[in-house]
Structures are given as structure tokens and as C-alpha cells.
Amino acid sequence: MKKRILKITLISLGSIFILFCIILLSAYLELYKFSKKINQTPSYLIKTAYSAYKNNDYINSKNFNFMLLGLDKRDDEFEKTTTTDTIIFGSLNFTNQKLNLVSLPRDIWDYEINAKINNVYPQSLETTDKFSFIQNNYTKITGQRIDKTIIMTTDNLIDFVKVIGGVDVYLNKGFTDNKYPNPEYIKNPSPKVPIYMTVSYPTGWNHLNESNITPFVRSRKSAETAADGGTDIGRIERQQLLIDAIMGKVRNPQFLSDYSNIIKLYNFWHQDISTNLSDKDLLSIGLVIKNNYKNISLNKVNIPIGTGPKDGVIYHPEKFINLQWVFTTADKDYSQLKQFINSSIN
């Protein structure tokens, strides 16, 4: 009887062991297939996940701060530039589940580099560590610790919109720009090709995809005022609307439940984006917000512009600086700007 019970027990334990091995093998095969699709190895994914879990750099942090730079690189006979027209300081607050985005106008004067802040990036290319240079300079201006930097080009934005299948953005007031630079003329200057083209976005919902996303975020000559969609400030407001729409799209359960979307986003991130934000960083942040990612709200912050130091955080000085039309602050240490940013994100 005892031998029979022992035999049954051994058979049961053997069955459980075999079942466990099958489950483990199946899990590994799935991991292997996934790793092949994102051009990584299973061991890399396991090590990264373990490291993010055991040594999470953000688990005890109040927030995660980053710089998002939009690079519109030009190298044609009309313009050669590597300046960044989109400059956004972001702070993801883990406590109140809020993503704060502070748009910094590109014309703010940077006393450290003796140029507008859109020149921080091109000057960083002359250093041994461009990310440290970028983060140190913007820390001095914003007064905030900056953990990582993300740099995107116009082409990156087009590819990203393709990956997510476009987004829908609502404009309270539409706009028309009759002097938008014609890409065809830039590619092949010819008397037969118009220098400018007309782009138009109506009031209400606009579907943005690879065919119309670039003019939407770049146009600034549709009007004389930001309220009518023109100027750099009007462009900033549209960029904020776009980010809001993208957030809504990529965290939608229907989008996330599609396995292929995750793979496309990961491959896009690794192949196209210049950043010092690692896979471990992303996974660590994900582990911190995993229970609240659906509740994260967007706080879009625009810096008040005045006619002078007494009625605005930034303003245009009466005299040009280095013969340039710029925004400046009441003091060279940016104390008022730092105070405004700090109060806006906390």
C-alpha cells in the first residue's frame, strides 16, 4: 500500500514537473519570438527586466524630468541649420499622475551660450557628451533637474504618425498659411515650381497623418497673432494639441492590446530616435506608473509673455541682443522663469 502511494506520488510529481517544463519552454519560445521581432536577445530582455525591478532608479523619485527637442534639420541651398524649433521641458509627476509640458519659445536668450536656446543643440554637437551639455544648459534656464533628453526630427514625426495610424486633433479656430515653404521647391528649385504653397486646416476635427502632419506643427505665418494660429506661439499651441492627441491614442486599451503596435513602437524608438533614455529607464518608469498610467493627465504650460519685466515672465527687450530679435527675462539667472516653472509643475 505504501509503495503504491509512493508510486502515485512520484508519478504526480513527475507530471507536475513535466507540466512546469512545458510552461517554461512555451514562455521562453514566446519570449524568443518577441525578441526576434525587436532585434534583441531573450537574455537581454530578461536582464533588463531584472535590473529595472531590482535597481529601479525612479522608485523613490517624485518625478521624471526630460527635454524634448524637435529638430528641423535643413541642408539645402536656401538654409543650412540644425537648430531646434520645438523645445519642451517635461515633468512626469508620479505623485499626482500628471504629465507637465512647459513649451519654451525658441527665441529665449541663453546667456550661457550667448545665443537663442534653439542653438543649444547645435552647440552640443561640438562637445564630447551632447546629452550632458543639453541637460546642463536647460537646467540652468528652467531650474529643474533634467534626467534624460529625447531628440526628434521632422522625418521622425512623419514615421511616428505612420506607426500609430494618425491622430485626430480638434482646432477651436482653423487657419490657412499661404506662405508655407514648398517641399518640392526645396528639393528641386525651379522657376516652374512655386516657392510657397498653401496649407489649410479647418475649425473642428482634423485627421493628421504623414501627408499633413509637418505643416501642422511647423506653420507660423498664417496670421499675425497666436490667437489666429500664427507666430511661434500659435505653433507651440498646436504642438501641445498634437501631444495630447498622441497620448490619448497610444494609451488607448484597444491600441495597446494589439501586439504588433508595441513591436512597431519599440522598433521605431530604437531605430529612429536619438536619446539617452534606455530600455531599463523606460521599464523602470513603467513599473512606477503601471497602476496609474490610465489616470495620467496632461498639463500644458505656456510661459506668460509681457511687454516688459513687470508684466511678463519673458518679454522682448527694447534693443536687440547681438542684432537678434529675442525673448529675455528680467534677470540673467532666470529666477522669475524658474519660479514660474516650479509653481506650474508642482
Number of structural domains (the chain) is 2
Task: Verify that 89 and 36 share a domain, yes or no.
Answer: no
- Check residues 323 and 6 and name the one with the higher pLDDT: 323
Q: What angle do CA 233, 237, 243 make, to 5 degrees?
A: 140
The per-residue pLDDT for 75 is 60
Mean pLDDT over each residue of the chain, to the nearest integer? 85
Does the structure show a pLDDT above 60 at 122? yes
The region of weakest confidence among 40-54, 224-238, 330-344 is: 224-238
Q: Could you tell me which residues come within 8 angstroms of residue 45 by beta carbon, excluding any fewer than 6 positions away?
A: 31, 34, 35
Bridge-based pairing of strands 148-153 and 274-275 is: antiparallel
C-beta separation of 109 from 305 below 8 A? no
Query: What percent of the chain shows pLDDT beyond 70?
Result: 85
Cα–Cα dist 253/345, whole Å? 27
The per-residue pLDDT for 345 is 92
pLDDT tens digits for range 17-38: 555 555 555 555 665 677 778 8
| Structural domain harbouring 249 | 54-345
pLDDT tens digits for range 81-108: 778 989 999 999 999 999 999 999 999 9
Q: Could you tell me which residues come within 8 angstroms of residue 48 by beta carbon, excluding any fewer than 6 positions away?
A: 279, 280, 283
Task: Verify that 213 and 233 share a domain, yes or no.
Answer: yes
Task: Verify that 137 and 108 share a domain, yes or no.
Answer: yes
Supply 269's cell numbers.
524608438
Does the structure show a pLDDT above 80 at 294? no
Map grid coordinates 498646436 to a residue.
238
Task: Verify that 153 and 265 share a domain, yes or no.
Answer: yes
3-state secondary structure at position 189:
coil
The per-residue pLDDT for 319 is 81
The per-residue pLDDT for 9 is 52
Domain boundary among 53, 70, 86: 53
Binning pLDDT at 50, 70 and 90, where does residue 213 land? very high
C-beta separation of 258 from 27 below 8 A? no
Task: Verify that 98 and 18 share a domain, yes or no.
Answer: no
CATH number at residue 161: 3.40.630.190
User: What is the average pLDDT across 181-197?
Assistant: 83
Query: What percent of the chain shows pLDDT beyond 90?
Result: 45
Task: Verify that 13 and 94 share a domain, yes or no.
Answer: no
Domain boundary among 38, 53, 68: 53
pLDDT tens digits for range 152-162: 998 899 999 99
3-state secondary structure at position 170:
strand
- Phi, psi angle pair for 191, to nearest 5°: -60, -20
Task: Verify that 6 and 146 share a domain, yes or no.
Answer: no
The per-residue pLDDT for 32 is 63
Does the structure show a pLDDT above 90 at 274? yes
User: What is the average pLDDT across 226-238?
Assistant: 72
Task: Verify that 107 and 172 share a domain, yes or no.
Answer: yes
C-beta separation of 279 from 48 below 8 A? yes
Task: Verify that 38 and 78 share a domain, yes or no.
Answer: no
pTM (two decimals)? 0.87
Q: Contacts for 109-114 with beta carbons within 8 Å, 24 or more apart?
A: 109/321, 109/324, 109/326, 109/327, 109/328, 110/137, 110/141, 111/332, 112/137, 112/140, 113/137, 114/322
Task: Verify that 61 and 43 share a domain, yes or no.
Answer: no
- Check residues 39 and 138 and name the one with the higher pLDDT: 138
Nearest one of 183, 144, 148, 173 to 237, comparing CA atoms: 173
Task: Verify that 129 and 217 share a domain, yes or no.
Answer: yes
Task: Verify that 19 and 30 share a domain, yes or no.
Answer: yes
